[in-house]
C-alpha cells in the first residue's frame, strides 16, 4: 500500500509538504513491509521471489542463496540504520529494529552459525576465482554500522566487534572489480581504520587512485556507461569517505572530491523534472530514488554551492514518485522489481528480491543534523523558475550527455553518447540505446517489428530476419547549438550501418536532422515515445498535415506526442505494442517509415520533428509549425555530402554539417 503524507508542512515545504519527520515515516513504512516477512529474531531477510530473471535460481550454487540472504540483510540495513539513528527505539511489529540487526550481524559473521554468510577467501577456496556479490554487500554493512554506530556497534563487546571486523576485513582486502566496486573496498577498509583495526594502506591508496582516475569531467565518472552510478555510487561514497577519513587524513584529495561533487551538482538537478521526477534510463534502475542520494551528500561537502531548498524539494518528490504509488509495491508489501509496476525488461541478472533496497541510499539525508540547511531551507523550484516556458540545455563533453529542462512541458530529457556494447556487435540494451530519455515518457523495450520508440530500427530486405539496432552511440559534441552523435547498427555479416545524428532542442521536444548511411536495400523506422494504455484505454491517434508534411499525434490523459515527417520519409503510421511498456501491458507508438527497394541509394537526410506535451490541450498549428525552412545541401563547401540549412519559427537558424563527426566521435 502506498505511503501517504500525514500533516504536510506547506510553510517549510510549499512544493511537497514533506519534512524530516515525513522521511522517517516513509522509511518506516518501507521497513514495515520487510518485517512482515521475518518470523523470528533468528530468521534472515529473504523476500518473496518476484521474477525468473533474478537470482538465485533452483540450480544455482549454494553461495548464490547466501548472497540473497546477504542482500536482504545489508540493503535493508541501509534503510534501517538512519532510522535507528533518528529513532533508536523504533519497532516494526514485535521487533525492536536495532536489536534485530545487531543480532543478525552476529549470526552472519559467526562461523558456527547456520546463518554464517562466508567470506571472499572462503568462496574462492570452495568455488574458484571470480567476483562475488558479497563484496558489494559488505560495504553496505560498513556504512550502516557507521550510521547506527551509537546504537549497535558501540554496544557490542570487544570480542563481538573483533568477530565482525575480521569478517569485513576479508572482503576489504580481497579482489574486486575495477569500477564502482572499488569503493566497496574503500568503505570497508576505512570503516576498519577509523574503528582501530589495522589495514593495508597501500591497498587503500591503490583503490583511491583507480577511482579518481575514472573521472572524465563535468562531475562524472566512467562506470561502464554514464548513468546513475555516478550519483548513487561515486557521489554517494566519496563525500561519506571524506567525512569519515579524508577531510582529516587526506585533505588535498578530499578537496578535489568536494570540487568534483560541486561541479556535478551544477547540472545534475536538471535531470529531474519540474515535479522532481527522475528519468528512467541506465542499468539497475530498480534502485529508483537512489538517484537523489547525491543531493543529500551535497550537505556533507565543504562550501557546497547548491540550493538546499531545491535539493530537498527534488529528493522528497523523487521519493514520493515511487513510495506514493500503489503499484510500486508487490502484494507482499515490498518494492517490486520494475519501475512503477513489475517489469522484467529492466531487471538485471545480478538482482534478487531485496536488490531494490539499494534505493535506501537516499535516506542518508537522515544522517544530516536537524539544523542542516538540507532540512531548514524553504523548498523551492530552483532553476525551473528562471526557465519559465523556455528551456535550458547543457551538453557535457566528459560523459557525452546532453541534458534539457523543458519549461513548456516541465519534463527533463537526457541524450546519451559514449555508449558502446560490451559484447561486440550485439545490440545495446534499450536503457542505453534510446536517442532520448524523458522523465515523463519512459522507454519501451525493443520491438523487432520496427517502430521502436526513440530509436532507428532498420531491416535489410535481403535478410529480413536481421533487425538493425544500435550497438554503439558515439558523442561528437555540440557545435553552434546542434548536438552531433553517431549511431552504428549491426548489418548482415557484421558490416556496420550508420546514422549521423544532429539534434536541435526546440520547446517541447527535438528536431532530428539525421543522415542515413545504409548501402543495401532496406526499410527504416523511427518511433516517438510510446504511450501506455492506462487501465486498458488506448491512445487517441490523429493524422493531419502541417505545412504540407504528414503529421501524426497520439494522446492519453496528461500526455501527448506529435511526429512530423519533414523530409526523407515515405509516411507516418502507428502500432500497438504488447508487453513493451513499463506502465501498461499495451502501448501506442507513432513512427515515421521509409523503404528503398534498390541498393546504393545515396545518403538520405531524415528530418523529423518530435514534440510532446504534458496536458490535454489540442495541438495548434502554431505549436506544430516549429520549423520554417528545411533546405538540403547536396555538397557542403568542405566536401561533406548531405548537409542542410534549417530555420525555425523562433528565429534561430542552423547549418547542419556532419564533417567533424568521424574525426571527433568518442565512446
CATH number for the domain harbouring residue 423: 2.70.98.70
In this structure, are 301 and 396 located in the same domain?
A: no
In-domain check, residue 10: no
| Structural domain ending residue among the three candidates 347, 382, 417 | 382
In-domain check, residue 4: no
Q: What is the pTM of this model?
A: 0.97
Question: Residue 483 in contact with residue 470, Cβ under 8 Å?
Answer: no
15's CB contacts (< 8 A; 6+ apart) are 276, 313, 316, 317, 379, 380, 381
Give the C-alpha distances (Å, rounded to integers) separating 638 from 482, 486, 657, 659: 18, 19, 9, 8
Report how far residue 606's alpha carbon sits from residue 612's, in angstroms, rounded to the nearest whole number.
Answer: 19
In this structure, are 427 and 555 located in the same domain?
A: yes
At 449 the pLDDT is: 77
Question: Residue 45 in contact with residue 410, Cβ under 8 Å?
Answer: no
Q: Which candidate, 550, 548, 575, places its Cα nearest to that of 564?
A: 550
In this structure, are 305 and 425 located in the same domain?
A: no
β-partners of residue 474 are 486
Q: Which candidate, 157, 148, 137, 152, places its Cα nearest to that of 67?
A: 137
β-partners of residue 340 are none
- Complete edge-to-edge strand list for the sheet that includes strand 391-396: 391-396, 401-406, 411-415, 437-438
Q: In this structure, what C-alpha cell is assigned to residue 90? A: 523504533
Report how far residue 482's alpha carbon sits from residue 505's, in angstroms, rounded to the nearest whole number.
Answer: 8
| Structural domain ending residue among the three candidates 382, 406, 434 | 382
Residue 132 backbone dihedrals phi, psi, to 5 degrees: -120, 135
Look up the domain containing 423 and give its range.
Answer: 389-664
In this structure, are 501 and 605 located in the same domain?
A: yes
Q: Which candidate, 454, 512, 504, 508, places its Cα nearest to that of 617?
A: 508
In this structure, are 544 and 596 located in the same domain?
A: yes
At 303 the pLDDT is: 86
Q: How many domains does the chain have?
A: 2
In-domain check, residue 11: no
Q: Which candidate, 440, 432, 387, places its Cα nearest to that of 561?
A: 440
In-domain check, residue 14: no
Report how far residue 449's alpha carbon sits from residue 447's, in angstroms, rounded to the nearest whole number.
Answer: 5
Residue indicated by cell numbers 538493425? 468
DSSP letter string, 313-376: HHHHHHHHHHHT-GGGB-TTSSB-SBSSSB-GGG--TT--TTGGGGGGGGGGGGGS-TTSHHHH
In this structure, are 360 and 438 located in the same domain?
A: no
**Which residue ranges in the chain fall short of pLDDT 50?**
none
In this structure, are 453 and 320 located in the same domain?
A: no
In this structure, are 159 and 176 located in the same domain?
A: yes
Report how far residue 429's alpha carbon sits from residue 420's, in angstroms, rounded to the nearest whole number.
Answer: 10
Furthest C-alpha separation in the chain: 81
In this structure, are 349 and 395 located in the same domain?
A: no
At 494 the pLDDT is: 64
Q: How many CA atoms lie less than 13 Å away from 155 in the CB half-sphere?
A: 14
Q: In this structure, what C-alpha cell is assigned to residue 196? A: 582501530
| Structural domain ending residue among the three candidates 350, 382, 414 | 382
Report how far residue 511's alpha carbon sits from residue 603's, in angstroms, rounded to the nearest whole number.
Answer: 19
Domain holding 230: CATH number?
A: 1.50.10
In 518-652, DSSP assigns E strands to: 522-527, 531-532, 540-546, 549-556, 559-567, 571-578, 586-596, 605-613, 627-635, 641-648
Q: What is the DSSP letter of 194?
A: H
Report how far residue 564's alpha carbon sits from residue 513's, in angstroms, rounded to the nearest whole number.
Answer: 12
Residue 311 backbone dihedrals phi, psi, to 5 degrees: -60, -45
Residue indicated by cell numbers 568521424? 662
Full 3-state SS string of 1-54: CCCCCCCCCCCCCCCCCCCHHHHHHHHHHHHHHHHCCCCCCCCCCCCCCCCCCC
Q: Which candidate, 475, 473, 466, places its Cα nearest to that of 488?
A: 473
In this structure, are 442 and 522 located in the same domain?
A: yes
Report how far residue 205's alpha carbon sits from residue 207's, in angstroms, rounded to the nearest whole number.
Answer: 5
Helices (H), 353-466: 373-376, 384-387, 430-433
Length of the chain: 667
Q: Strands 641-648, 95-96: parallel, antiparallel or unpaired by DSSP? A: unpaired
At 151 the pLDDT is: 98
Report how far residue 68's alpha carbon sits from residue 45's, in angstroms, rounded to the nearest whole number.
Answer: 9
Residue 221 backbone dihedrals phi, psi, to 5 degrees: -115, 145
In-domain check, residue 3: no
In this structure, are 215 and 276 located in the same domain?
A: yes
In this structure, are 81 and 185 located in the same domain?
A: yes
Q: How many CA atoms lie less than 13 Å away from 605 in the CB half-sphere?
A: 24
Q: Strands 559-567, 641-648: parallel, antiparallel or unpaired by DSSP? A: unpaired
In-domain check, residue 7: no
In-domain check, residue 12: no
Give the C-alpha distances (Å, rounded to integers) separating 586 from 406, 439, 537, 574: 27, 20, 9, 13
Report how far residue 157's alpha carbon sits from residue 467's, in angstroms, rounded to the nearest whole number.
Answer: 62
DSSP letter string, 240-288: HHIIIIIHHH-HHHHHHHHHHHHHHHTTGGGGS-TT-PPP--STTGGGG
Amino acid at each position: 500500500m502506498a505511503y501517504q503524507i500525514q500533516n504536510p508542512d506547506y510553510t517549510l515545504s510549499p512544493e511537497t509538504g514533506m519534512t524530516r519527520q515525513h522521511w522517517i515515516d516513509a522509511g518506516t513504512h518501507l521497513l514495515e513491509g520487510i518485517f512482515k516477512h521475518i518470523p523470528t529474531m533468528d530468521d534472515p531477510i529473504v523476500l518473496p521471489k518476484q521474477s525468473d530473471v533474478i537470482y538465485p535460481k533452483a540450480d544455482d550454487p549454494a553461495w548464490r542463496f547466501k548472497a540473497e540472504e546477504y542482500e536482504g540483510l545489508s540493503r535493508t540495513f541501509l534503510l534501517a540504520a538512519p532510522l535507528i539513528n533518528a529513532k533508536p527505539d523504533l519497532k516494526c511489529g514485535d521487533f525492536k529494529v536495532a536489536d534485530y540487526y545487531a543480532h543478525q550481524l552476529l549470526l552472519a559473521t559467526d562461523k558456527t552459525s547456520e546463518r554464517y554468510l562466508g567470506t571472499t577467501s572462503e568462496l574462492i577456496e570452495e568455488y574458484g576465482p571470480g567476483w562475488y556479490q558479497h563484496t558489494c554487500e559488505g560495504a553496505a554493512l560498513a556504512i550502516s554500522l557507521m550510521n547506527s554506530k551509537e546504537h549497535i556497534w558501540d554496544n557490542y563487546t570487544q570480542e563481538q566487534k573483533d568477530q565482525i571486523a575480521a569478517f569485513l576485513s576479508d572482503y576489504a582486502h580481497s579482489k574486486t572489480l575495477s569500477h564502482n566496486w572499488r569503493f566497496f573496498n574503500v568503505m570497508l577498509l576505512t570503516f576498519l581504520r577509523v574503528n582501530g583495526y589495522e589495514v593495508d594502506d597501500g591497498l587503500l591508496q591503490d583503490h583511491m587512485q583507480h577511482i579518481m582516475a575514472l573521472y572524465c569531467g563535468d562531475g562524472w565518472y566512467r562506470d561502464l556507461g554514464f548513468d546513475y552510478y555516478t550519483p548513487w555510487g561515486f557521489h554517494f561514497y566519496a563525500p561519506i569517505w571524506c567525512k569519515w577519513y579524508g577531510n582529516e587524513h587526506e585533505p588535498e584529495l578530499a578537496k578535489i572530491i568536494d570540487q568534483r561533487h560541486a561541479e556535478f551538482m551544477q547540472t545534475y538537478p536538471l535531470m529531474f523534472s519540474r515535479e522532481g521526477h527522475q528519468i528512467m534510463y541506465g542499468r539497475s534502475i530498480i534502485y529508483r530514488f537512489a538517484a537523489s542520494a547525491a543531493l543529500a551528500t551535497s550537505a556533507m561537502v565543504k562550501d557546497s554551492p547548491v540550493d538546499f531548498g531545491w535539493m530537498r524539494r527534488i529528493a522528497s518528490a523523487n521519493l514520493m514518485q515511487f513510495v506514493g504509488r500503489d503499484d510500486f509495491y508487490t502484494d507482499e508489501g515490498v518494492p517490486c522489481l520494475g519501475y512503477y509496476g513489475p517489469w522484467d525488461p529492466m531487471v538485471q541478472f545480478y538482482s534478487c528480491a531485496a536488490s531494490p533496497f539499494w534505493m535506501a541510499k537516499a535516506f542518508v539525508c537522515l544522517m544530516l543534523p536537524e539544523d542542516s540547511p538540507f532540512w531548514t531551507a524553504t523548498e523551492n523550484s530552483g532553476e525551473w523558475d528562471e526557465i519559465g516556458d523556455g528551456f535550458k540545455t547543457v551538453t557535457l563533453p566528459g560523459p557525452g550527455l546532453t541534458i534539457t529542462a523543458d519549461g513548456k512541458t516541465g519534463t527533463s530529457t537526457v541524450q546519451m553518447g559514449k555508449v558502446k556494447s560490451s559484447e561486440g556487435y550485439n545490440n545495446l540494451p534499450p536503457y542505453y540505446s534510446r536517442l532520448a530519455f524523458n522523465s515523463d515518457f519512459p522507454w519501451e523495450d525493443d520491438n523487432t517489428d520496427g517502430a521502436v520508440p526513440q530509436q532507428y530500427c532498420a531491416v535489410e530486405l535481403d535478410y529480413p530476419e536481421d533487425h538493425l539496432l544500435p550497438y554503439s552511440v558515439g558523442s561528437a559534441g555540440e557545435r553552434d547549438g546542434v548536438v552531433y552523435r553517431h549511431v552504428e547498427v549491426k548489418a548482415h555479416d557484421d558490416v556496420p550501418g550508420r546514422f549521423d545524428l544532429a539534434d536541435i532542442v526546440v520547446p517541447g521536444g527535438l528536431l532530428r536532422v539525421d543522415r542515413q548511411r545504409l548501402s543495401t536495400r532496406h526499410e527504416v523506422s523511427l518511433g516517438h515515445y510510446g504511450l501506455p494504455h492506462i487501465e486498458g484505454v488506448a491512445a487517441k491517434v490523429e493524422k493531419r498535415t502541417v505545412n504540407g508534411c504528414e503529421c501524426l499525434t497520439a494522446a492519453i490523459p496528461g500526455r501527448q506526442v506529435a511526429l512530423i515527417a519533414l523530409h526523407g520519409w515515405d509516411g507516418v503510421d502507428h502500432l500497438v505494442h504488447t508487453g513493451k511498456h513499463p506502465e501498461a501491458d499495451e502501448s501506442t507508438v507513432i513512427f515515421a517509415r521509409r523503404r528503398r527497394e534498390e541498393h546504393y541509394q545515396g545518403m538520405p537526410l531524415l528530418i523529423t520533428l518530435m514534440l510532446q506535451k504534458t496536458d490535454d490541450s489540442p495541438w495548434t498549428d502554431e505549436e506544430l509549425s516549429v520549423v520554417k525552412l528545411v533546405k538540403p545541401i547536396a555538397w557542403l563547401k568542405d566536401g561533406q555530402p548531405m548537409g542542410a540549412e534549417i530555420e525555425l519559427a523562433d528565429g534561430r537558424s542552423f547549418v547542419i554539417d556532419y564533417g567533424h563527426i568521424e574525426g571527433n566521435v568518442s565512446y
